[in-house]
């Protein structure tokens, strides 16, 4: 096991990169603690696989160092790094049985047959592959093939880190839910560093203690699920996480107060910390209320999403709507309404980044 440090890593797939846009990873600095459960979350194309492949050694970064504990492993071959990686699609030997597939990573490293038998039995039971151990992999469903892939990643107990790159893509929704909780359970049992890559916030937030949110080749925030919800440090994080995500509205500062479409809004941020950038207000739908006075608008749509209702309000004089979450049983507004934002949960963003709060 090891602590993993990415020290100013940049990567471009181009031979002569010039601007930041030429880099799939712009500049990443991260510490992954030994034994942690991490998720790497971001939309398709943001650089997640590139980052994983740099850790596993399938890619050598254009710049920067990768450290395991304090050893520089940037130039080591993948098989010298002692890592397990599970890919999006099954990587297995079709002609081997399930048992042979699961045994392979251990046999390959000279583990004795008795230990192999014990480990394979444990992993097979966990993944519910025990009834098909002596079947050839070739005849199995895509689900089961991917479970073998997962098993091959989990079977060794001496790896520095286990990395999963969108491993549940080919798994059907019902089993997805089950495997997700299994992986979480397994992490708690073995306490090994695990990095789980996904574009799905639910998968990330249920699996990980710490979530790394990325977009456009940059790490935007590293935090617990609660931190990402309560205090997104970038508008992208606020918008990407939550359902629906944080409302982000254009704002201006007039005579020392923050205004949206001419209406004053109280926020937790300190306007003294503003520079000269583009200012926006961010507030989650959970923290917007219907009141008698406040920002005027008109109800556009009402959507029942089970535990609560999402009301979408088009703001007067602005080309923007605000989502409001109304709890089950509360009155649903119609027509013209006024909105108020909970000041403690309303923040300013400048050029996308959070504006610091008043020190109190
Ligand atoms: P993600 O896994 O988050 O979907 P990737 O790391 O696969 O993102 O890709 C990041 C960026 O790098 C994308 O713009 C993608 O098109 C580009 N990219 C990925 N792999 C290669 C490659 N082998 N050659 C050139 N460009 C690539
Ligand atoms: Mg990917």
**Residue boundaries of the structural domains of the chain:** 4-235, 247-354
Q: Give the pLDDT confidence of 55-83 residue by residue, as tens digits.
A: 999 999 999 999 999 899 999 999 899 99
Q: Which two tokens stand for residue 65?
A: 């160092």
Residue 12 Cβ contacting ligand 1 at under 6 Å: no
CATH, range 247-354: 2.40.50.140
Domains 4-235 and 247-354 share a fold: no
Query: Which strands form 295-304's sheet, in the order they lie side by side?
Result: 288-291, 336-341, 295-304, 308-315, 321-327
What was the pLDDT predicted at 1? Answer: 61
Nearest-10 crossing angle of helices 142-154, 173-190: 10
pLDDT for 242 beyond 70: yes
Residue 288's pLDDT is 98
| Section 293-302 average pLDDT | 96
User: How far does residue 55's CA lie from ligand 2's centre (Å)?
Assistant: 14
Cβ neighbors of 112 (< 8 A, separation 6 or more) are none
Q: What is the pLDDT of residue 176?
A: 86
d(CA 155, CA 132): 17
- Give the closest residue (by CA) to ligand 1 atom 21: 13
Q: Say how many C-beta atoms besides its own lie within 10 A of residue 51's C-beta.
A: 29
Which pLDDT score, from 0 to 100, does residue 360 have? 54
Cβ of 36 less than 6 Å from ligand 1:
no
15 C-beta closer than 6 A to ligand 1:
no
The chain-wide mean pLDDT, for the chain, equals 94
Q: Is 46 in the pocket of ligand 1 (CB under 6 A)?
A: yes
- What are the start-end ranges of the H helices in the chain? 48-56, 98-107, 113-126, 142-154, 173-190, 201-207, 225-230, 235-240
pLDDT of residue 250: 97
Residue 185 has pLDDT above 90, yes or no: no
Per-residue 3-state assignment (H helix, E strand, C coil) for 35-81: CCEEEEECCCCCCHHHHHHHHHCCCCCCEEEEEECCEECCCCCHHHC
Ligand 2 centroid to residue 48 C-alpha, Å: 6
pLDDT of residue 180: 86
> What is the fold of 4-235?
Rossmann fold (3.40.50)
Q: Helices marked H in 191-287 — which ranges?
A: 201-207, 225-230, 235-240
Strands (E), 261-307: 263-265, 279-283, 288-291, 295-304
What's the rounded Cα separation, in Å, for the pair 209 and 221?
Answer: 14
pLDDT exceeds cutoff 80 at 161: yes
Q: pLDDT at residue 359 above 90?
A: no
C-alpha–C-alpha distance, residues 180 and 29, integer Å: 28
């Amino acid at each position: 096991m090891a602590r993993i440090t990415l020290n100013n890593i940049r990567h471009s797939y181009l031979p002569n990169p010039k601007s930041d846009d030429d880099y799939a990873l712009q500049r990443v600095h991260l510490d992954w603690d030994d034994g942690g459960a991490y998720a790497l979350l971001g939309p398709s194309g943001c650089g997640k696989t590139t980052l994983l492949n740099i850790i596993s050694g399938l890619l050598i970064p254009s710049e920067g160092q990768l450290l395991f504990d304090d050893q520089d492993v940037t130039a080591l071959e993948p098989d010298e790094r002692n890592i397990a990686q599970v890919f999006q699609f099954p990587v297995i030997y079709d002609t081997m049985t399930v048992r042979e597939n699961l045994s392979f990573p251990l046999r390959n490293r000279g583990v004795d047959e008795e230990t192999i038998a014990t480990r394979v039995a444990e992993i097979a039971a966990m993944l519910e592959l025990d009834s098909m151990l002596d079947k050839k992999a070739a005849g199995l469903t895509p689900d089961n093939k991917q479970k073998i892939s997962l098993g091959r990643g989990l079977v060794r107990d001496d790896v520095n880190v286990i990395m999963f790159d969108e491993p549940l893509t080919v798994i059907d929704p019902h089993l997805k839910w089950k495997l997700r909780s299994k992986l979480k359970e397994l992490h708690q049992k073995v306490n090994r560093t695990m990095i789980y890559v996904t574009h799905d916030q639910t998968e990330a937030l249920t699996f990980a203690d710490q979530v790394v949110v990325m977009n456009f080749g940059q790490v935007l925030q590293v935090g617990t699920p609660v931190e990402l919800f309560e205090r997104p440090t970038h508008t992208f994080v606020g918008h990407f996480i939550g359902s629906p995500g944080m409302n982000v509205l254009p704002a201006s500062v007039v005579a020392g107060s923050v205004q949206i479409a001419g209406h004053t809004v109280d926020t937790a941020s300190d306007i003294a910390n503003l520079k000269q950038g583009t200012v926006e207000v961010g507030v989650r739908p959970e923290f917007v209320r219907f009141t008698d006075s406040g920002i005027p608008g008109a109800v556009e749509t009402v959507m029942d999403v089970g535990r609560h209702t999402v009301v979408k309000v088009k703001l007067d004089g602005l080309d923007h709507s605000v989502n409001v979450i109304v709890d089950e049983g509360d009155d649903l507004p119609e027509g013209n309404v006024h909105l108020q934002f909970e000041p403690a949960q309303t923040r300013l963003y400048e050029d996308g980044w959070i504006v610091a709060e008043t020190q109190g």
